[in-house]
């Protein structure tokens, strides 16, 4: 382990490296809270909730179609509601299949880094960014009386803290810390981390996105009972959010394959000099 990776002694209260000690202590405390088993439990729960939320979305979409048909005396909203059912069904099928495939890709794509310094710094910055963003958005939301601004802050905070969770537990991404890594292997390890992190976050993003979309569709139904007009754009944006969230596993799967293919090509190029040296020795 490099000397820069070792935690500094905590006996001295104030010196040139006080901030470094505070950072180490903050990350150590955070890691105790954000353990790998807790992340896996959270991921499983949110993903399962997302699949239940897709069933709720199907029922809500059909309900909106029926209510809209009665309110407008038109058949087309009811047909939209009926069409919504198979669309959600196919979306759920794809989300389930590609979520399992994505986990398999991470398990079969091992990588390594020579030092935890990059992950530690990224975790600390993400932790700070999440807290500051939530505080700023909360302040702006209170001043402007805007719930959407507060929701944006909560979204940024959750994304940053999940990133911290993965930085502190690289085993969740099948990344090993091996001091013998070369500079090229270190670069590949960093790029692999950047590719694997979004793929590992997708199950959580899927679950949260579908649940938020359900709330939007439910709000559109409530609005139908209060107003005489039918606001298709309101329910349309929420419906698109549901489908887009369900499509995330497929999109992440394809993008990861493309990115990792390029990474394997780079890895093969870096291995050429070593193989030539072995041939020369023979």
Give tens-digit pLDDT for 228-267. 555 556 688 889 999 999 999 999 999 999 988 888 888 7
| pLDDT(4) > 50 | no
Q: Read off the pTM.
A: 0.82
Helix axes 183-226, 232-281, angle to 10 degrees: 170
- Scan for tokens 């807790």, then name that residue: 38
**Spatial CA neighbour of 51 closest among 97, 83, 103:** 97
Q: What is the pLDDT of residue 277?
A: 63
Arithmetic mean of pLDDT over the chain: 84
Question: DSSP states of 211-260 as a string?
Answer: HHHHHHHHHHHHHHHH-SS--HHHHHHHHHHHHHHHHHHHHHHHHHHHHH
**Structure tokens given for 223:** 């609005």
What confidence score (pLDDT) does residue 87 get?
A: 93
Residue 74 banded pLDDT, cuts 50, 70, 90: confident
Task: Say which residues have a Cβ less than 8 Å from residue 207's Cβ, sequence separation at least 6.
Answer: 46, 47, 48, 49, 50, 53
Residue 264 contacts residue 108 (beta carbons within 8 Å): no
- The residues, ordered by sequence, that sit 6+ positions from 248 with a Cβ below 8 Å of its Cβ are 95, 202, 205, 206, 209
Q: Looking at residues 120-137, what average pLDDT do you find?
A: 90
- Give the lowest-confidence range in 6-20, 78-92, 151-165: 6-20
User: In this model, does residue 128 exceed pLDDT 50?
Assistant: yes
């Amino acid at each position: 382990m490099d000397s820069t990776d070792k935690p500094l002694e905590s006996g001295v209260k104030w010196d040139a490296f006080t901030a470094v000690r505070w950072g180490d202590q903050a990350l150590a405390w955070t890691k105790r809270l954000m353990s790998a088993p807790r992340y896996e439990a959270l991921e499983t729960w949110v993903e399962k909730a997302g699949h239940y939320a897709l069933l709720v979305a199907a029922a809500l979409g059909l309900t909106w179609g029926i209510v809209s048909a009665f309110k407008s005396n038109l058949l087309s909203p009811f047909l939209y509601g009926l069409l919504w059912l198979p669309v959600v069904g196919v979306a759920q099928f794809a989300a389930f299949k590609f979520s399992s495939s994505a986990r398999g890709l991470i398990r079969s794509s091992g990588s390594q880094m020579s030092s935890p310094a990059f992950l530690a710094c990224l975790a600390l910055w993400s932790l700070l960014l999440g807290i500051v963003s939530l505080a700023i958005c909360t302040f702006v939301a209170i001043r402007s009386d805007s719930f959407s601004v507060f929701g944006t802050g909560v979204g940024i905070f959750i994304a940053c803290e999940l990133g911290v969770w993965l930085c502190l537990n690289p085993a969740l991404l099948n990344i090993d810390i091996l001091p013998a890594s070369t500079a090229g292997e270190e670069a590949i390890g960093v790029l692999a981390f950047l590719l694997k992190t979004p793929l590992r976050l997708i199950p959580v993003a899927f679950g949260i996105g579908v649940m938020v979309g359900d709330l939007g569709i439910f709000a559109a139904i409530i609005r139908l009972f209060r107003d005489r007009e039918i606001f298709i754009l309101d329910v349309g944006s929420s419906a698109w959010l549901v489908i887009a969230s369900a499509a995330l596993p497929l999109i992440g799967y394809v993008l990861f394959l493309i990115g990792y293919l390029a990474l394997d090509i780079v890895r093969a190029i870096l291995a050429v000099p070593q193989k030539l040296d072995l041939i020369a020795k023979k």
